[in-house]
Structure 1
Amino acid sequence: MKYRQIKWLILLLPTITIGIWEYVRHEYLLPYLSMEMGNILSPIIVFAVTVIILIKLFAILEGIQEELKTEKARKAALIERENLARELHDGIAQSLFLLSVNLNRFGEKAALETDLDFQKTKQILQRIYEDTRQAIQNLKQLPSQELFSWTKNIQQYLTELENNYPVDIDFQWEIQDQTLSAKEKIELFACIREAVMNVIKHARTNKVWILAKESMHGWTCEIRDQGVGFSIERNQMETGLGLQIIEKRAEAMNWQFSIQRIENETVILLKKEQKIDAD
């Protein structure tokens, strides 16, 4: 049913109801129903019929409004994705490309092509450039109709990682979408992304576990791997920065954050505990 039809039904429903009642009353009920009783019953019947039908009409109207809000949010998200992709391409990606060209020229002039530190710097720069290009491609791709199914969005992102990197991600998610606010979904997704990329780049392992559970007291999210561990990795500065980013995000959201080594596993834990008001 269309929005305009619903509006007309709401406007005409009392008139139609009282017209039908008066017709039935005068044609069939007049010998059995006094005028006074009929006059008393008229507003009651009109009110009862109007309420019953309007409840259904309002439910349909609310559904239409929700669809409009969802479509509006979806359109806004698409515009933001396009703007962000354009900014990344015109700004960061081009700057990284020019930096790479200048670095290669400098290496040739200074005869640094065989220098290990120089090669490592080139690899890091190339990796950052590739990550940026991949982010641009992801932003340009139209999201599915299930844009607001947050859990499926995570699964899609992890699948893309498995397609682009030699990694196998075991994803076990038991937190309901409605449990998390919009802000929590954004921050938790960013933490998971940072943690998984940290494992891919530094842990020297091809297996990652993401385990999330929900309880009456809140939820927990673990990212596990059986790599070399954060304390003995080669590029500890870059790894430590990634962990600091996760810790800062968790702190801003009042989540608990911890990272520890347990039986040859590195475990990053994010935890939220619900506050229970005392009676």
Structure 2
Amino acid sequence: MSVSPVYEKEIVAIILYTSCFFMVVAVFLVAFFYFSRKKIIQKELEKRDLEIQYQKEQLHAVIFTQEEERKRIAQDLHDDISSKLNIVSLNSHLLSSPNLTEDETKEITENIINLTAKALENSRKIAHNLLPPVFEKFGLNAGVEELCEEFESSKSVKVNYENEIDFDEQDINRHLHVFRVLQELMNNSLRHGKASEIWISFKNENEINSCNYRDNGVGFDNQNAENQKGLGMKNIDSRISFLDGTIKINSEIGKGIAVIFTF
């Protein structure tokens, strides 16, 4: 049985159209996947650029903070310790002056003793600000307890502190960042928030350490991004990033501030 030429042509046409259709679909799919992949790669590159930029900003904030801290320490040493030691030196030379009466010698000696004692006390305070001895010896919990006591000693704020975590002493270098974050938050509560009460609590939920911090200060507009771009906040962000943690800040004008960060 033979197939008519017309029928053969129809079959060939169908095969050609079908082949063309599949070729067009294949080209379309290749183009689609190519441009989709290109778009995904572009987004990944943009995301990576943003992460690099964020890391640069954090590094800049840390370096700037360190430089400011060095300047402050240098200023304290120059204005306080150095000036007192200069006066001690002058008084010491006065003791070698001839014809000094007994009362004059006693007065100069007392001045030297008093100035030396003040210089020693202030040098201890500077060292304490760098790394509190209690924190270094007994860890984060003891360091935070002492920090709370120091703030309460000003009689201007009451601090409520609770801790449910048994901190590992091996993590003291990481815990120092937690301590500095709390120090920054408490300073902000007093300096800017005008708070009269502060609450701090450490908890461990699902193997994740977290710190809840809040105060009853004046608060700020949480929707205004500029309120969270200060050097202090950048410093906090950089420390939380170092700890591979997260931080969430909520505040309203007249309702204080609430902060939760993990570490």
Q: Which bin holds the TM-score, normalised by the shorter protein? A: 0.3 to 0.5
The normalised TM-score by structure 1 is: 0.45
Give 1 or 2 for the bigger CA radius of gyration: 2
Higher relative contact order, structure no. (Cα contacts within 8 Å, ≥ 6 residues apart): 2
